Every structure is written in structure tokens, then in C-alpha cells.
A = this chain, B = another copy of it.
Amino acid sequence: MTKRGDSKNRTEEGRRILLGHIKGKGLRWTKQRDAVLAAFLKANAHLSAEELYGLARKCCPDVGFATVYRCMNLFVEAGIAKERRFNDERVRYEPNVMAEHHDHLICLKCGVISEFEDERIEKLQELIASAKGFKVKHHRMELYGLCNKCDDS
């Protein structure tokens, strides 16, 4: 069992949080939202809107592109998704359920995205920022390079 919890737990927790957000705001639960949510949480990856559109349509063919975007914006608002943009490409969405803060390693060849967390980095950032009179709210740290597999070949 990973730090993040298994896929089943995450999916249940994600649905619970989203339902709370929806009820609290007088919004509605629809089969499209369910399809996009399921695709999003099951994958546990950094998917683009296009990829989510493809996945969601597998179980609910009448999902439109706009709905995927509207869903993802809703999920971000509800706190269960985070937007990421690596390598200046399109936005990708990352599940934010039962997840700790982390940064990313991106393989330039195969595109695999790996996550890491390092307390020393967090502390150094505070140090550097305060030396410049900045108060850090959030940060972004991405390491681009070659993963084990791609470096060999």
C-alpha cells in the first residue's frame, strides 16, 4: 500500500469530497461528471483533457470536450485535482486526494513522470526566499532528464 492509498480508496474518497462540494453549492451530480471522475481517479496519472475525454467516453459516449474541461475546473475547485504543465506542454491534471505535496521528475525521452518529496528542498526554499524578502506561498520544482531505462538505451 502506497503513501497515497490504493486506487479504490482514493476513488471513494475523491467521490465523497466531490459530492460534498456539489451538495454544498447546490450543484448536480450527472453521469458525465461521474464518468470523468472515474476516468480521472482510476488512472492516477498526469492526464491531459484530451486523454480524459477519450477515457470518459469509453463508459459514457455522450461526453463532450467542453464538459471534460468544465469537470476538471470543478474538480480543481473542489480540491481533488491539480493543474500541472510540464515542459510547456498542455495542462495535465493530477489527483490531489490523499496526496502529500511533492515535486516531479520528468523523463525527456519516454515522458514518464515520477514524483518525489524532500524536506531539505522545502527548507532551502524558505531560506532562499526569506533572504530575498519573499514569503513563499507555493513553489514548483521539476527535474528534467533521463530515467534509468532511457539512459541505458
Number of interface residues of A (CB under 8 A): 34
The 0/1 profile, CB within 8 Å of B marked 1, for residues 113-148 of chain A is 010101011001100110011111111111111111
A74: Cβ under 8 A from any B Cβ: no
* Whole-angstrom distance between the Cβ of A30 and the nearest chain B Cβ: 28
A129 engages B143 (CB within 8 Å): yes
Q: A121-B124, A124-B118, A124-B121 are in contact. Are A140 and B132 (CB under 8 A)?
A: no
A55: Cβ under 8 A from any B Cβ: no
- Taking CB atoms, residues of chain B closer than 8 Å to A133 are 147-148, 151
* A contact set with B: CB distance below 8 Å: 83, 85, 88, 91, 105, 107-108, 114, 116, 118, 120-121, 124-125, 128-129, 132-148, 151
List 8 interface pairs A-B (beta carbons < 8 Å), by A numbering. A105-B132, A114-B134, A121-B128, A134-B146, A135-B151, A136-B143, A136-B144, A139-B144
